[in-house]
Structure 1
Amino acid sequence: MPISNGLSYLDESQTTVIGDSNNVNEVSVAETQKSMGVQVNAASTVYKKVYTKVKYKSWYKSWYKSWYKYHGKWKYKWKYKWKYTWKYKWVITYKKVTTSSTTTSSSSSVSSSSTSSKSNTTNSSNSTSSTSSSLTKYLKATTNCQSTSTTIKSKAKSITSGKTSSYAKAVAVYNYVRDKIGYSFYYNTKYGAVGTLSKKTGNCCDTAHLLVALSRASGLPARYVHGYCKFSSGSWYGHVWAEVYVNGKWYKADATSSRNSFGVVNNWKTSTATIYGKYASLSF
């Protein structure tokens, strides 16, 4: 399921910090300890976007060198010296960083404990609201994920008819895409969700578009995952698949192989895959 490099290459010094949506801050405990004069250790986890070289791009170097050095000095110089250096130099990886801070409070009173209890209720409510808000973007239609299309909505309704739970709906959508959509080899997006449903075939990008669109049309948050995977054939390829959010958990949904099932991937090794990013919309 190869795809071309669809990443945005930025300056090495530029980094972005992305919050971990799976963390829930239990502030009530910290506030109570603080009111009792206890030292509090607060930890938070973030993902830091970094730009690094990876070995899988090195074959371009040898290929350009062996091919273009016999096809003219300037052509070789442009292809190997410039295009390889800048286009294939950087890829995005995500580094998990945990930071901690220590605070000490010497004040202790009954009113402080009462305030902490109220804060617990408020923050629990805010945490739930924040989680729901963070999933909103995974329910919206995008350029190639036409989840509000009449065609997509009608098909989603037909697929999930009679299914009462979110999990049952997610499995039904996944099984439909896996069993009814064939695989075609080409790079990047070509048809989008509606086109893939019509043609009944697509590459990994378009298969993911359809699965994400049908999931969102069924009221299930879904997103794209872009990575570099070692397939059962032994070859490494850039790959795109979907993830669907059900009952507080993200499930892998790679419908490009009949060997896979909802939440289970068998046609490539999940343990060795490099994840480039997870997106609400696929840009390539």
Structure 2
Amino acid sequence: MTITTRFAPSPTGPLHLGHAASAMLAHDAARAAGGRFLLRIEDIDPGRARQGFVTGIEDDLRWLGLDWDGPVVRQSARLPLYADALDRLKAMGLVYPCFCTRAEIAASASAPHGPEGAIYPGTCRALSDAVRAERMMREPHCWRLDMAPAVARAGPLDWHDRVAGRIAAIPDAQGDVVLARKDAPVSYHLAVTLDDAAQGVTLVVRGADLFAATHIHRLLQALLGLPTPDYWHHPLLTGPDGRRLAKRDGAKSLAELRAGGADPKALLAGLRAQLGLSPARA
């Protein structure tokens, strides 16, 4: 089977070394197997996505020598695909509208915590159809997956990670996750699952911080009849303070490194060494 990988950044800021590492691993895995490496721009956040960052992403990858195959795909051009999938889940009775604010959820004394923070306590799950219809006409709302019946419908699931091995999917540990946001037509969970399937991605290479999300993605694959790729959740790069590199913490961007005369080949060699990859494995 031909390997297809992808790099799928959000254009909400410049790329840094952590992004370079993830793109490099996905690119190298595809090229070593004679496969395809795709570039997808996850621009579904209308309040933060910027065209200038899209241009910067492409410039950074070219500078690093990480060439991609085919046209660049943008999530903003795929909204009908997401709407159709959400409609399918609605027809199955597996999603419901939620009117709660983040502050209300955080303040709920009954909200337990899961891998990604407070778990939604199900406040809106038991609303009647009449109440839902009335409130939807006048209040902003997201759409949540009704986790218990979704898990029951899918049955036992698992997935394979190149580092962790065979993993039993436990999506219910994260509660009724959001599939379509109040401020955007789709959430990360639904969009990335649909896009990877539509693009024929066979190996998803991404940071270990997204390991927990894969439990949700495996459930959505089962519910929507989508194939399950292999996964490679790689270690995250950290700065001198031991904290993961992040845009919000001011990690030095690739554009700054490029402007400062950094050698891209030496940079990638350093990343491979930091991740414990020999040149032969890269």
TM interval, short-chain normalised = under 0.3
- Max radius of gyration: which structure? 1
Query: Structure 1 length as normaliser, TM-score?
Result: 0.25
Q: TM-score, normalised by structure 2?
A: 0.25
Which protein is richer in strand relative to its size?
Answer: 1
